[in-house]
Structure 1
Amino acid sequence: MNRNDSISTGGGRMLKTIAYAAAVLGALTTSTLAEGLDELKPDVVERLYNKDMLDPAQPIGASKWRDFKAKKGPPWKIGYASSYAGNTWRAAAMNELQNEIVPEWKELGLLSELVVTQSNLNDSTQIQQIRQLVDQGVDAVILCCSNPTALNASVKYAAAKGVPVFSMTGYLTSEYAINSSVNYHVGGYEIGKAMVEQLGGKGNVLVVEGIPGTSGSDSQNRGVLAGLATSSDIKVVGSVAGMWTDQVAQGEVQKWLATNPGKLDGIVVQSAAEMGVLRAVQQAGRGDIPVAIGGELGALCYWRQNPNYINTSFQLWPPADDMALMWHVMMRTLQGQGPKVQSILVDPVKITFDDLKKLMNEDCSVDSAEWLKVGAKGWGYDPSYLDDFFLRPADPRAYKP
């Protein structure tokens, strides 16, 4: 197939464009859907794709892009259809993308241009932006943390033009999407279970969700509730939406505490909101309540300066690493390495206080808005882990067309 075949005039152009779309979708659909999980290492399947510890809506079939190679060689033009820019996580992910990834891959000769759009949590706007990016000639689209179904038609539109769409930090249910993230159900379960252990198996817990309706938030929340349910003496006494934003979570928790003066023993919160929750409980004079801490350096610093505050922390979405993981998955796919499955999942990372002491000094700042970076080996984009998810694995940095 040659995309240039569609360049003509009038009805001829339309017919050739339709023929190109049909050919691309037809080629993608012929992938053998029985393949996929059985091609991965058994221990990875058991940990991360076990049906008892997996969001039931998480797409885990064989990838439609197993035999794909980009319609032209590098350098490639990439679109990033971001859905939100209003928290520290998004800022850290964008910083990694623009200041670390883009310069490196331009120097490698594999990237020509990055085009960024922002939809501010408006699905209709993001749908439009994805289509515009495709029409502008991008070779791939990355998007983040979106509604799992709302964008599916635009993902199919992109696929028909030979443009793969990569969903990081949450999944899309489209059969044409390529997803990468931690297993949020497993991660949420570990966080909930850690709170149970923190409280000695008994107590009242407030749950602070992320952005309800997004796959990452909903999957993690189901895992959290399953982890808390490991003890019948743990009672979930309330739930608020922190919107993955410290200021929002702080306000919501302050309101909840003001109207619920009863006994509260712990708070489970999705990053990026733990620092806001910590401030809310301190301002309410209830700073002894343990709050689950994720990757915000300010919150981790609070724990570093108060060693007995909590027992463990779990990293579920370090922004720089999530972006790097998705970028490596995308580049490997464009190079024709052939992703085996629709969703490439990684393990949550557990951090103890001994680990934390090695990561930061006691003179850290609780006002830091930065995030912990786990690194390639810890977050799955090291070749020793990621190679297993591709049919024809190779170092993406060394690619020569």
Structure 2
Amino acid sequence: MTAALTGTAACAAKGGSDTDARAAGAGTGGKGCGTLTYKDPGGNADLSQLPKKIREGYNGYFAPVNTSVYKDFKAKSTGHLKIGYSDSFSANGWRGDALARLKQDAAALQKSGVMSSLRTANSNLDNSLQIQQITSMINQRVDAIIAIPNSPTAFNNVIKQAYDAGIPLITLNSHVTSPYAINVDTNYHLTGELVGAGVAKIVKGQGDVLVVDGINGSPASSTLHQGYQAAFAKCPGIHVKGSLEGQWSEATAKSLVLQYLSTHPGQLAAVVNSGGMTNGILQALQQTGRKPVPIGDANPDQGSLVSLRKLLPDQYAAGVTPPAQGMDAALLTAIAVLHGQGPKYDAIVATPTQITGRAALDDWIRDGWTASSAAQAPAPPGTDWLSPQQLRSYFQRPAALPELPPLP
């Protein structure tokens, strides 16, 4: 069973410094503890045109949503497309799965004549190098670029260069402030707030919480952290005692949590992480002789879900940002723009999905998954996550889109 729900503090510091984030309020858990507050994203876009379920995904979105500059864009070519892919980091499962899916999609589209080539590059968190790589793609005259930038602002000039060259740039789960990009995005603020609110309910609004973030400076990691803080701010009994930079890596998260626990002997009520680090956290707790504590996981991998069902089947709150569905949405968005379908907005935002409870895990976990399964978990059954049918709502002149291979 899954539930699609609706409901953004500074980037976490590396290491385990005490950063007590208690908030003012009354009562044991605080009025509103464990609940969400509606916040309109602002901007000049008219979101009222969207179906209610899709519009809810913009609730609390951390950036203004504006009309897209590509609403009347017409590409020079609509077939045999050359697509560029610029990644800022590849050393985690989510990025690896996203790239694998893009290659699978490209192979199928090359056979059907929709695409002619795929060009990929990775900068390993070097913004200057990634800008050079995108510039190279512009000079090679690709038709569109899909990118995961590591900064919301550092790429604005090169994105404008792409626009001036007639090359749409689509970001994936990494919002940029340039008006010349289209952000295909998860509402990370809302996801973080959902996960934080779920954990707050489990611990009854009381106790010390450790946060394990992704990569400091990454828009996704920073915005998830803001979402946790927004949820915990309603709970005066919850104190965020430390924030670690786990880099979305099980090994890194385990090492940092071990270091933190060695210098912080106090009892933790829960640990919240930005995705795919749950097993590392649980292993660190076990290695130091501590019992498992409730877990918040903003985007679990397969092994994390298996471990949660075994150890904490009713003591977790999780979100989902599936890499395969995300990449499909980014690629189809690029193709729709090139085909002149006219995107309405500069941000195409998926409605987050939250799971909690044993029944949800039973629905989500598939045969063959084990605690050591490192691959990202696909969206739970029945989750409509920026599907081709949903994408139609974000375009002025929606039309049929190429068929992609079946999802895993």
| Alignment TM-score, normalising by the size of structure 2 | 0.83
CA distance in 2, matches of 1:195, 1:40: 31
Q: 2:100 — aligned with what?
A: 95
Q: 1:40 — aligned with what?
A: 50
Contact 1:346–1:379 (CA under 8 A) maintained in structure 2: no
CA distance in 1, matches of 2:344, 2:95: 28
Identity %: 33
Q: 2:282 — aligned with what?
A: 278
CA distance in 1, matches of 2:74, 2:385: 23
Structure 1 residues 334-368: Cα deviation after superposition (integer angstroms, max 9, x where no partner): 11111100000011112232122133368741111
Q: 2:195 — aligned with what?
A: 191
SS of alignment partner, residue 167 of structure 1: strand
Gaps of 5+ in 2: 1-42, 404-408
Q: Are 2:91 and 1:82 equivalent residues in the alignment?
A: no
Structure 1 residues 26-48: Cα deviation after superposition (integer angstroms, max 9, x where no partner): xxxxxxx9554343335543x23
Match of 1:133 among 132, 137, 141: 137
Q: 1:382 — aligned with what?
A: 387
CA distance in 2, matches of 1:358, 1:272: 19
CA distance in 1, matches of 2:367, 2:290: 23
Q: 2:159 — aligned with what?
A: 155
CA distance in 1, matches of 2:366, 2:102: 27
1:179-328 paired onto structure 2 within 5 Å: 179-293=183-297, 294-306=299-311, 308=313, 310-315=315-320, 317-328=321-332
More displaced 10-residue stretch of structure 1: 244-253 or 234-243: 244-253
SS of alignment partner, residue 292 of structure 1: strand
Structure 1 residues 41-96: Cα deviation after superposition (integer angstroms, max 9, x where no partner): 35543x2334xx221xx241000100112122311000001111111111111111
2:95 aligned partner, one-letter code: R
Gaps of 5+ in 1: 1-32
Contact 1:144–1:168 (CA under 8 A) maintained in structure 2: yes
1:237 aligned partner, one-letter code: K
SS of alignment partner, residue 393 of structure 1: coil
CA distance in 1, matches of 2:381, 2:341: 19
1:382 Cα offset (Å): 2.1
Assess, with a 3 A threshold, how the Cα gap between structure 1 residues 86 and 35 changes in structure 2: closer, same or farther: closer
Q: 2:118 — aligned with what?
A: 114
Assess, with a 3 A threshold, how the Cα gap between structure 1 residues 363 and 319 changes in structure 2: closer, same or farther: closer
SS of alignment partner, residue 383 of structure 2: helix
Which one has the bigger helix percentage? Answer: 1
Q: Are 2:362 and 1:357 equivalent residues in the alignment?
A: yes
CA distance in 1, matches of 2:363, 2:57: 28
More displaced 10-residue stretch of structure 1: 233-242 or 373-382: 373-382
Assess, with a 3 A threshold, how the Cα gap between structure 1 residues 229 and 323 changes in structure 2: closer, same or farther: same
Assess, with a 3 A threshold, how the Cα gap between structure 1 residues 376 and 394 changes in structure 2: closer, same or farther: farther
1:39 aligned partner, one-letter code: Q
CA distance in 2, matches of 1:361, 1:140: 35
Contact 2:185–2:349 (CA under 8 A) maintained in structure 1: yes
Q: 2:61 — aligned with what?
A: 54
Structure of greater Rg: 1
Q: Are 2:170 and 1:166 equivalent residues in the alignment?
A: yes
1:287 Cα offset (Å): 3.5
Assess, with a 3 A threshold, how the Cα gap between structure 1 residues 278 and 175 changes in structure 2: closer, same or farther: same
1:64-79 paired onto structure 2 within 5 Å: 64-79=69-84
Structure 1 residues 98-133: Cα deviation after superposition (integer angstroms, max 9, x where no partner): 1x3112212221111000001000000000000001
